[in-house]
Amino acid sequence: MTKFNLHIIDVFDPKNSGAYSWNDIKSIDFNKEKINWFFSIFSGLIDLFAGTVVSKVYKFKSNLKVVLDRSSIIIKLHKVDLERMEDMLTSMEAKLTI
């Protein structure tokens, strides 16, 4: 019998939800929100040629990538306290290195 240590609930993509053993987790990466420069500039140029001034900055949303033995899951983060997320990751990384 396997003891599960990490329970994930992903409301954006329920197939990511489940219980995962620490032994199956290879790494956990936290990707902060960042600007999608290519798409933002491209859409700005289109707006410029179209004569509109309603250009928008597009961003890659923050996410948590959990790399497992045979796969990886990406969990989109929405309205997350970044400080608490970093504290949680520090704790999780300590468990992964034991």
- Tell me the pLDDT of the chain averaged across its residues: 83
Count up the domains in the chain and report the number. 1
For residue 76, is it within any domain?
Answer: yes
Residue-level pLDDT at 1: 42
For residue 1, is it within any domain?
Answer: no
Model-level pTM greater than 0.85?
no
3-state secondary structure of 83: helix
Across 1-98, the runs of DSSP E, i.e. the strands, are: 6-8, 18-20, 25-31, 34-35, 59-60, 63-68, 72-76
Region 16-32 average pLDDT? 86
Across 37-86, the runs of DSSP E, i.e. the strands, are: 59-60, 63-68, 72-76
Structural domain range at position 32: 6-97
pLDDT tens readout for residues 46-88? 888 888 777 788 888 888 899 998 889 998 888 778 788 888 8
Residue-level pLDDT at 65: 92
For residues 47 and 5, the model is more confident at 47
Position 39 pLDDT exceeds 80: yes
